[in-house]
Amino acid sequence: MNWNIYLSGEIHTDWRQQLIDGAKAHNLPVTFSSAVTNHEASDAAGDLLGAEDNSFWRDHKSSKVNGIRTKNLIAKCDIAIIRFGDKYKQWNAAFDAGYCAALDKPYITLHADDIIHPLKEVDASAMAWATTPAQVVEILRYVILEK
């Protein structure tokens, strides 16, 4: 069995690459997927269908185009990793966590311990909380390969 792992959240650090490298190092049979992580391309996704003057509608249009991708990838994933960094609002990550929870998709949160309290509802529905990408790799290895 190949496992589909959806990576949600922070795009300003290299945690995705660390997961990918770690999975490769353990020869895990996994396929990673993500929303588009190129920030500018993501914000401009709707521009492909014509420019918008109004910033609300520009964001709306782009988010819906991005949703075509993310709705499909979350629906097909076996495990989601939801990453919260120390900057920005990151409401999309919490939104993905709620979406996973309602679909019964097991997810693991990845965040530092100084934001335990504001993330308590998100963590309460998670299957695990990790603080480092290395821990996530360990969990994936255990879940997928352990006898």
According to CB under 8 A, which residues from 104 to 143 bind a second copy? Answer: 104, 106, 108, 113, 115-125, 127-131, 135, 138-139, 142-143
Q: Which residue type sits at 5?
A: I
Contacts 24+ apart (CB under 8 A), 70-74: 70/35, 70/96, 73/4, 73/6, 73/33, 73/34, 73/35, 74/6, 74/8, 74/99, 74/100, 74/103, 74/105
8-state DSSP, 24: H
The verdict on 39 binding a second copy (CB under 8 A) reads no
Min dist CB 35 to a second copy, Å, is 9
The verdict on 87 binding a second copy (CB under 8 A) reads no
Q: Which of residues 56-75 bind a second copy (CB under 8 A)?
A: 56-57, 59-69, 71-72
Min dist CB 4 to a second copy, Å, is 8
Describe the strand order of the beta sheet including 107-110 as a list of residue ranges: 30-34, 3-9, 79-83, 107-110, 128-130
The verdict on 29 binding a second copy (CB under 8 A) reads no
Q: Which residue in the set 19, 28, 30, 46 belongs to the binding site for a second copy (CB under 8 A)?
A: 46
Q: Which residue in the set 20, 23, 28, 144 belongs to the binding site for a second copy (CB under 8 A)?
A: 144
Q: Which residue in the set 18, 26, 32, 78 belongs to the binding site for a second copy (CB under 8 A)?
A: 78
6: enclosing H helix or E strand: strand 3-9
Min dist CB 27 to a second copy, Å, is 17
